[in-house]
Amino acid sequence: MCYLNENQLSWCRAHEAETMDLLKTLGKIPAPSHFEDQRAAFILSWLKKLGAEKAYIDDAKNVVLPMGVTDNNPVNVIMAHTDIVFADTEELPMREEDGKLYAPGIGDDTANLAALLMAAKYWLEKKETPQEGLLIVANACEEGLGNLKGSKQILKDYAGRVQEFISLDGGVAHITNDAVGSCRMKITITAQGGHSYSKFGNTNAIVQMAELIGKLYEKEPPAKAKTTYNAGVIEGGSTVNSICGQCSLLYEYRSCDRECLQEMDAFFQETIDSFRKKGFDIRVEVLGVRPCKGDVDEEKLEALTKRHRDMLFAFTGDEPRVSASSTDANSALDLGIPAVTFGAIRGGGAHTRGEWIEMDSMPQAVQIALAEVSHYFV
């Protein structure tokens, strides 16, 4: 199947230099989760210059381009996220070497974002209207403790209207059509503390936290679906000769099955309650919850998955992997909306400061993004 006509392919080829300029500009703009303001402002200005008068920034710092959207018609969503995992607030470092472009967040998700914006540019120039309402979104807060704030805002603002939900994220070899849900929390234990010699015997928050972690790790994960848990960060204490008075832990559990998450939650609550009964001073702060897949029409979801599997195979000649993951699509799948996540680029080193993309994958990435957007115009 041919996904683009010759005019569209010619347009993509003619705009390859502009695509790289856009990618390099975006890739240098810092965008920590919750602080994507600079990227959002740049993208909105870029769209406005193309004549996108209705484009706007919403309360979650998403840049939203409505196309053919009325007050109440059905809409489809295509998004790529603006945020990256790093907290930089100054210009991000970038370098080219051996055909690769290196920068924090360049593949996750800046390159996919640039490809989607170029696809939007094509249809803005055409001045045509999609068959149903279409939202092209440069969304905020996909990473980490962004907790999918951006995608959740879109689904809230257009509640009951979203028919399909597509997220461009990651590499071209992978499709996600199932949601790995998670619960992330900060656990803080406060103890007596004191001088390590004169107050020896006082309760030590580090020792108490170690006991709690040991108990949490006794849990046998549910067998129904892959379920994991992790003690990720532990902080506490001040000096070698001080009994620790306060210690904190970042802890999470994940699963693609709601019942498994409920079992993990019940075990966690029971464990915390039992330690409180032993006299431990424990405070729990929920940092973020990502939902699992809800009651989705499996036939529609499979059809959506097949459509994208076929498209990526047509462009790459390789069969993409299909699996569960944690992406913006979680928000839609939770609500029963057919949704998939796929990437359009090739690269590596995601979530490291040495992240890179193959620069020669960008022309194809724009073609894939344009094919995705064009689906809703024909």
Dump the DSSP string for 271-309: HHHHHHHTT-EEEEEEEEEE----S--HHHHHHHHHHHH
Give the whole-number percent of the chain exceeding pLDDT 70. Answer: 100
Q: Are 320 and 368 in contact (CB under 8 A)?
A: no
Q: What is the mean pLDDT of residues 134-138?
A: 98
Give the distance from CA 259 to its chain's centroid: 23
C-alpha torsion 5→7→13→17, nearest 10: -130
Q: Per-residue pLDDT averaged across 336-359, rounded?
A: 97
**Beta-carbon contacts of residue 4 (< 8 Å; ≥ 6 apart):** 12, 367, 370, 371, 374
Look at residue 104 and tell me whether its pLDDT is greater than 80.
yes
Tell me the C-alpha distance between 151 and 237, whole Å: 38
- pLDDT for residue 227: 97
> If residue 212 lies in a helix (H) or strand (E), which one and from where to where?
helix 205-216
Question: What is residue 180's predicted lDDT score, i.e. its pLDDT?
Answer: 97
Provide CB contacts within 8 A for 187, sequence distance 6+.
209, 212, 248, 249, 251, 272, 282, 283, 284, 285
CB-based contact 108:84 (threshold 8 Å):
yes
Q: Answer whether residue 199 shows pLDDT above 90.
A: yes
Q: Which amino acid is at 232?
A: G
Taking only the tens place, the pLDDT of each residue in 215-239 is: 999 999 999 999 999 999 999 999 9
How confident is the prediction for the chain on average, in pLDDT? 97
In this predicted structure, the answer to whether residue 378 has a pLDDT above a threshold of 90 is no
Q: Three-state DSSP class for 319?
A: coil
- What is the DSSP-derived secondary structure letter of residue 110? I
Tell me phi and psi for residue 44, to 5 degrees.
-60, -45
pLDDT at 150 (0 to 100): 98
352/31 Cα distance (integer angstroms): 15
120 close to 48: Cβ distance less than 8 angstroms: no
Angle of CA points 108, 112, 113, to nearest 5°:
95
Give the pLDDT score at 266: 98
- Per-residue model confidence (pLDDT) at position 14: 98
**pLDDT for 76 beyond 90:** yes
Tell me the Cα Rg of the chain: 23
Instruction: Give percent above pLDDT 90 in the chain.
Output: 98
Q: Side chain identity at 170, as an amino acid letter? A: G
- Distance between CA atoms of residues 146 and 63, nearest Å: 16
pLDDT at 16 over 80: yes
Interhelix angle 6-14/16-28, rounded to 10 degrees, is 50
CA separation for the pair 338, 373 (Å, rounded): 16
Rounded average pLDDT over 56-62? 98
Structure confidence by residue, pLDDT tens digits, 155-197: 999 999 999 999 999 999 999 999 999 999 999 999 999 999 9
Q: Which helix (H) or strand (E) holds 247?
A: strand 246-255
Task: Find the range with the poorest average confidence among 1-5, 155-159, 327-331.
Answer: 1-5
How many Å apart are CA 44 and CA 70, to the nearest integer? 20
**pLDDT greater than 80 at residue 67:** yes
1 pLDDT above the threshold of 80:
no
Residues 167-185 as b/e (b if ≥16 CB within 10 A, e otherwise) read bbbbbbebbbbbbbbbbbb
Chain CA centroid to CA 274, Å: 35
Q: For position 102, what pLDDT does the model report?
A: 98
Identify which of 182, 198, 53, 58 has the alpha carbon closest to the alpha carbon of residue 124: 53
Give, rounded to a whole angstrom, the gap between the first and last alpha carbons of the chain. 15
Residues 276-303 have a mean pLDDT of: 96
Q: Residue 2's pLDDT is what?
A: 80
